[in-house]
Amino acid sequence: MLLLAASPAWAGPPYLTDDPEPTELHHFEIYAYNQGTALRDGAATETGIDFNYGGLPGLQISAVLPLVRDETGATGIGNIHLGGKYRFLTQEDFGVDAALFPTLSLPNLSKNVGDDHTSFFLPLWLQKDFGKWTVFGGGGCTLNRHGDSRSFCQGGAALLRQVTDDLNLGVEVFHQGNEALGGSHETAIGFGAVYDLSEKYHLLAHWGPNIQNGGDNGRYAWYTALLFTF
For the chain (230 residues), the mean pLDDT of every run of 10, in chain order, is 32 90 97 94 93 97 95 92 98 97 93 89 97 97 85 96 97 92 88 98 97 82 97
**Partners of 208 in the β-ladder:** 221
Question: What number of other Cβ atoms are within 10 A of residue 72's Cβ?
Answer: 11
- Tell me the CA distances in angstroms from 34 to 16, 177, 225, one per residue in order: 13, 24, 6
Number of domains into which the chain is organized: 1
Is 146 inside a domain boundary?
Answer: yes
Is 3 inside a domain boundary?
Answer: no
Nearest to 157 by CA among 52, 16, 6: 16
Is 224 inside a domain boundary?
Answer: yes
pLDDT of residue 6: 30
Which CATH number do you get for residue 193? 2.40.160.40
Is 9 inside a domain boundary?
Answer: no
Is 1 inside a domain boundary?
Answer: no
pLDDT of residue 11: 58
Query: Range of 170's domain?
Result: 28-229
Q: How does 171-182 read in b/e, with b if 16+ C-beta sit within 10 Å?
A: ebbbbbbbbeee
Is 167 inside a domain boundary?
Answer: yes
Supply the DSSP symbol for 210.
B
pLDDT of residue 37: 94
Is 10 inside a domain boundary?
Answer: no
Question: pTM for the complete prediction?
Answer: 0.90
Is 177 inside a domain boundary?
Answer: yes
- Tell me the CA distances in angstroms from 86 to 14, 23, 33, 102, 142, one per residue in order: 20, 10, 23, 9, 18
Distance (Å, rounded) from C-alpha 187 to C-alpha 159? 17
